[in-house]
Amino acid sequence: LYGLDTVKADGSGQTVAFVGANASPTLQNDVAQYSRLHSLPAPSITEIVAPGVYRHPDTPKQVPGEFYGEETLDAEAIHTTAPGANLLFVGSSNANQDFDASINHIVDKHLSNIISISYGFSGENVPRGFINSLNGTFIQAVATGIGVYVSSGDNGDETSTFGTPAVDFYADSPNVTAVGGTSAAVVPTAALPTAAYASVDTPGSAVNQPGWRRDFEVGWQTGRDVISSTSSDNLTTAPFSLGGTLATAPPGDFFGGGGGGVSRIFPQPAYQSGAIGSSTGRVVPDISALADPNTGFLVGQTQSFSNGTYYDEYRIGGTSVAAPLTAGMAAVADQIAGSPLGFLNPRIYQAYKSANNAFYDVNQAAMFGTSVDQPLPSVVRVNYKNGENLAGGLSYSLRTLEEPNQTLHSTRGFDTATGVGTPNGSNFFTAISAPQ
């Protein structure tokens, strides 16, 4: 999707740090199994705890296991885009103070030139002292040559939360690279061989598959309609072909999307000047990558099921996917450059303003048209009703892409849904890693 197969680099010699609460006891084995199944090299993962971070108890609303999936996702996403890079997980307890201490520890000790953060706060209604403290850490990161990649959020423009558009903290900091989300699909460049349909449990089954190309990519803003049917559910009869009905008219209810918009507390940084129009505030996101769970990323993890605990794979999304995918691509760019590039935003916007095709312009109108009669792009989502297997039957929903009632939409050029767009293969890596 992002042309990593067109560059002769895999992040070798680089380290990508990522942070999270608690630590999955099966992380090492899960990422190793995932790598075997998807023809990736064996991972190199180090797990540490920032000094003194277990002074605070977990809150009653949080349990350690709920963070295991995020840690595993981050590791596998980074390893997918930078399979040669070393991974460093810096863990903490669930307490916010401890989580931030992990970020501080990486920056203070310069444990990595790249940090991926898949967390943040909804909106900017956060104590100013807390914002100033953590933003100070991000300023230190910029000054010492560390690039920080932060997910822009998964609740669109936040109007469903606050009643008015808002951007999220940490992503609103002008000292991080805020990573937004897209909905994307790929198609093979040649007919798929029979081997391509082999079980995902067959190691190396992807080796003989043809290349892939982008079929479409739009901003991630999803609407959901439940599809009902009186017919029995099974894998061969879908309700929409048997007179299934929608609970409401499309696009239905808002069901997640990449964060974006204009900060009310941070002014426009110099690197955005001339790229984002008339706004005077910091605009989010800067860049984007795959995030929609309906077109999303496959993650493998040891999980508990009714018939036991074992490794299995499932589709996932969120800008929690986009941020580590982009952090991995930053590691590839560092390897190509031959030295750490640090904070990438000045380079990102310089490349964007240079019109050198470094970015794929995510543009919903160009992809699907602007006619009022044009059907909204959508996909049908099929889920197990019990979340595990066919025993409980299947549920169906229509997921509308680029939900029109949000204020964030992918348009020509820079936009508050996807920023400058997504990495455009070798053009991106050439532009970003060029000497300055």
Q: With b meaning 16 or more CB within 10 Å and e meaning fewer, what string describes 44-62?
A: ebeeebbeebeebeeeeee
Q: Tokens 């540490």 sit at which residue?
A: 48
Task: Please tell me the distance from the alpha carbon of residue 107 to that of residue 100, in angstroms, as a whole number.
Answer: 11
Q: Tokens 């809150």 sit at which residue?
A: 59
- Please name the residue ranges forming H helices in 38-145: 68-81, 96-109, 128-143
Examine residue 251 and state whether it is found in any structural domain, yes or no: no
Reading the block at residue 3, the tokens are 């042309």
Residue 158 sits at φ, ψ, to 5 deg, of 70, 10
Instruction: Look up the domain containing 63 and give its range.
Output: 4-182+258-363+411-433
Domain tally, the chain: 1
Residue pair 284/261 in contact (Cβ under 8 Å)? The answer is yes
DSSP SS3 for 180: strand
Examine residue 406 and state whether it is found in any structural domain, yes or no: no
Examine residue 244 and state whether it is found in any structural domain, yes or no: no
Examine residue 125 and state whether it is found in any structural domain, yes or no: yes
Examine residue 400 and state whether it is found in any structural domain, yes or no: no
Examine residue 87 and state whether it is found in any structural domain, yes or no: yes
Angle formed by the axes of helices 425-433 and 319-337, nearest 10°? 60
- pLDDT value for 61: 47
- pLDDT value for 192: 59
Examine residue 378 and state whether it is found in any structural domain, yes or no: no
Examine residue 194 and state whether it is found in any structural domain, yes or no: no
Taking the chain (436 residues) in runs of 10, the rounded mean pLDDT of each run is 92 97 90 97 94 57 64 97 98 74 95 96 93 96 99 95 95 99 87 48 44 86 81 47 70 93 97 90 98 93 92 94 98 98 98 92 76 67 87 87 89 95 96 93
What CATH number is given to the structural domain containing 314? Answer: 3.40.50.200
User: What residues pair up with 297 in beta bridges, in sequence order?
Assistant: 316
- pLDDT value for 389: 87
CA atoms within 13 A on the CB side of 244: 20
